Structure 1
Amino acid sequence: MSKSLLVISRQAPWSGLSAREALDIVLAGGAYDLPIGLLFLDDGVLQLRQDQRAASLQQKDLTANLKALEMFGIEEVFACGKSLAERGMFPGNLNIAIQQLPQEQDISDLIDRYDHVITI
């Protein structure tokens, strides 16, 4: 029986390699049919913005990687409601569909559902 994994992505898409590494881990796990989830927290929710201008920062746009999650069977994609609201973001205007977690307790409950948790 496979152990489940939750990856928590907390970094903005342009703040280094962490955002890309989190997505790489999730996509690799999906390729091997690992039960895996992805939670965007804090500045990590900025990866979900529709209007990424990565080229102006000489960065690669992560939107294609995010849209590949579904292709790799990653259906457990979450975002902290508080983090979204603090950054003026809402589930209806994101570049992928997510499940919003409105309360801190919801996040704790989510973490408890997984065998392993990686925070990046």
Structure 2
Amino acid sequence: MNTSISQTQVSNSLAVVNRVAPYGGNTAQDSLDFVIAMSNFGQEVSVFFVDDGVFQLLKQQNPSPIQRKHFTKGFAALHFYDIEHIYVCEKSLRERNLNQDDLTVQVELLAPKIFYAVLDQHRHVVTF
């Protein structure tokens, strides 16, 4: 797994960090919309999931009982927007008794130290 980013990528790179569960408010959906919009404007976007943000990637979600839109299906389309780097904090998954097989998309699972080192390589960071 190559977790280094070239200097060219750093100068134009944007990291979007997701820390919240998907349906407690609009924050998670706003993050996904922001990621797609930034990609459409030619930004090099990497997406990070940590803490309760890992719940956004779960396969088995049904928000209809709380009358919410199932926006998390949009994560499966990120590759159409040339978003190739999706990072998940391994510790956050483990603390929630989850593993990579529970997630709806392919991710790069990183130990916390590496997770934050990769995040630090980005020029701009937006947290949701």
- Calculate the TM-score normalised by the size of structure 2: 0.87
Q: Secondary structure at the match of 2:126?
A: strand
- Calculate the TM-score normalised by the size of structure 1: 0.92
Structure 1 partner of 2:123: 115
Q: C-alpha distance in 1, partners of 2:83/2:101?
A: 20
| CA RMSD of superposed structures (Å) | 1.4
Aligned length: 119
Q: C-alpha distance in 1, partners of 2:46/2:37?
A: 12
Cα deviation code 1:47-102 (max 9, x no counterpart): 11111011112111123211111111100101110111111211122111110012
Structure 1 partner of 2:77: 68
List runs of 5+ in structure 1 lacking aligned partners. none
Percent identity of paired positions between Structure 1 and Structure 2: 34
| Between 4-13 and 84-93, the greater mean CA deviation after superposition | 84-93
Runs of 4+ in 1 over 4 A off after TM superposition: none
Structure 2 partner of 1:85: 94
Q: Secondary structure at the match of 2:105?
A: coil
Instruction: Kindly report which structure 2 residues correspond to 1:1-120, keeping only aligned pairs within 5 A, or say none.
Output: 3-102=12-111, 104-120=112-128
Q: Secondary structure at the match of 1:89?
A: coil
Q: C-alpha distance in 1, partners of 2:31/2:49?
A: 10
